[in-house]
Amino acid sequence: MTVDRIGSVDPIQPEKKPSRANHVNGVPRDSINISAAAQEKAELFRIRELAAAAPDSRADRVAELRAKINDPAYINEKIINATADRLISALFG
Span 65-89, pLDDT tens digits? 899 889 888 888 998 899 999 999 9
For 56, residues 6+ apart whose C-beta sits below 8 A from its C-beta are 62
| pTM reported for the whole predicted model | 0.34
First CA to last CA across the chain, in angstroms?
73
Provide the residue type at 68 as one letter.
K
- For the stretch 1-26, pLDDT in tens is 676 666 555 656 666 665 556 666 77
